[in-house]
Amino acid sequence: MIAIVDYGAGNLTSVARAVSFLGYTPRVTRDPAEIAGADRIIFPGVGAAGSAMTGMEERGIDGAMKQAFGAGTPMLGICVGCQIIMDKSQENDARCLGLIPGEVHAFPEKMDSGDGYPLKVPHMGWNGLEVVQDHPLFQGVGKDDEFYFVHSYFPVPKDPKAVFGRTDYGVTFASAIGTDNLFATQFHLEKSGEPGLLILKNFCVWKPC
Amino acid sequence: MLSKRIIPCLDVREGKTTKGVKFQNNVEIGDPVEMARFYYEAGADELVFYDITASHEKRDIMIDVVKRVAETIFIPFSVGGGIRTLEDMRTVLLAGAEKVSVNSAAVKNPDIIRQGAQAFGNQCVVLGMDVKHVGQKEGIPSGYEIVINGGRTYMGMDALEWAKRAQDLGAGEICLNSIDADGTKDGYEMNLTRLISDAVDIPVIASGGAGTPSHLADILTQGRADAALIASMVHFGTYTVNEIKGYLQEKGVKVRKTW
């Protein structure tokens, strides 16, 4: 069973639909016991890391997430799910799960777009992915493939070994990160067409060593 | 670097896709779910659906279309038309749309933008603007006026001021439709698009008037639009999405490579 964690942070149905489309059975759940015992865990999310963490704590899910991480359950974070695995976020100074050491930073103000106008924030739309470290979830992803982003913050892992993919938008930021049995993308796999579905499918069969 | 988005737009009436000129003489052109799948596979970066069903009682038909589209394609899509309340917005988003677009309802009750942004996040709320060039006059300093009811009712609101106000209220994006250019295939309304794009910090989708790939190149560069809506030029098979993208790439416009 693939648990899709419902911690009150937005659209879970689109991730569930994508998982169903791939032929797997998703289960949207907020039950800590069910999450801790799941075969695989996906935690999507939109909005602010702080309110996402509050949603987790109120439901007692934060403990279940840490437990599953320690037990080696394959876990996939998407968007805000890619931020709450860090130690803390600059967004409202929120404390996060701390599964990957580092912080979540905001895009700098008034980044130059090259044509005299500042880049718009949030970073919204399709952008590239530079794979900096191979990962089983990247299998089949092409170098021209683009992914769909909607965010104003991004993760900054302390250890470069946690960075698997990078994206340029005014600054170069980590857009795919991971460690052990945990992987996370700042972009929306469920909204990134075929390349997104491919990574999602790779996750559904991933056996972390 | 962010790609410019190419967005086919589907007008849906009672569950069927239609296309008109200047909001009139609509002809049926197909099943919206099949067309969504077609454009998804053809390289569209996003889709826009407008429910132009006249009767509010038949809105359930559209919700069913949205659900089936969401099971079929895995790129963002927005739904607009007939969205009047926060509850309407919620229904559309829960049915699987990524974004919801408000137009007339926001003109009549701007607070719906704020409420929607607060409840679902700014990125979910698109302000649709139908605009007509009326020349500079009292109350319309930019010369562009907001119209509703398919261009029949003038609202005495300045388009530029409305765009800025909607951004302040929390709109995450503006879909800017020129009634003058809509369906003409003579090109987007360059002055209007540039005027609004320069004035707001949120993305602007240019709409109305696309007939050739060069129109898109112009509006995405000189017009400073972040995305371009297309309808007739792809609905009738004149161009494919990838032909348009290929042309744009040749012209130095960054697009998502889907071929």
ipTM: 0.93
Instruction: Tell which wins on pLDDT, B8 or A10.
Output: B8
Single-letter code of the amino acid located at B61: I
Which residue on chain B is closest to A11 by alpha carbon?
B94
Find tokens 């909005």 and name the residue. Answer: A47
pTM (2 decimals)? 0.95
Domains of chain B: residue spans and CATH:
5-250 (3.20.20.70)
Number of domains within chain A: 1
SS3 B206: strand
- Are A198 and A205 in contact, with CB atoms under 8 Å apart? no
Q: For residue B76, which residues of chain A lie inside 8 Å, CB to CB?
A: 148, 188, 191
Task: Supply the DSSP symbol for B80.
Answer: E
Q: Quick one: what percent of chain B has pLDDT higher than 90?
A: 83
Tell me what pLDDT residue A21 has.
96
Q: For residue A150, which residues of chain B lie inside 8 Å, CB to CB?
A: 123
Chain A within 8 Å of B21 (Cβ-Cβ)?
A: no
Element (H, E) at B90: helix B86-94
- Are A185 and A131 in contact, with CB atoms under 8 Å apart? no
CB contact under 8 A, B256 and A123: no
What would the pLDDT profile of B174-199 be if each residue is shown by its tens digit?
999 999 999 889 999 999 999 999 99
Host domain of residue A160: 2-205
A162: domain CATH number is: 3.40.50.880
- Chain B window 152-171: which residues touch A at a Cβ cutoff of 8 Å? none
What would the pLDDT profile of A13-43 be if each residue is shown by its tens digit?
899 999 999 999 999 999 999 999 999 999 9
B130 catalytic per annotation: yes
Helix axes B59-72 and B32-42, enclosed angle (nearest 10): 30
Q: What is the CA radius of gyration of chain B?
A: 17
**Residue B63: other Cβ atoms inside 10 A:** 18
For B123, the closest of A14, A124, A127 (CB atoms) is A124
Task: Supply the DSSP symbol for B256.
Answer: -
Q: How far is A192 from chain B (nearest CA, A)?
A: 6
All residues at 6 or more sequence positions from B191 whose CB lies less than 8 Å from its CB, including other chains: none
CA–CA distances in Å: residue A74 to residues A52, A65, B105, B213? 21, 11, 45, 45
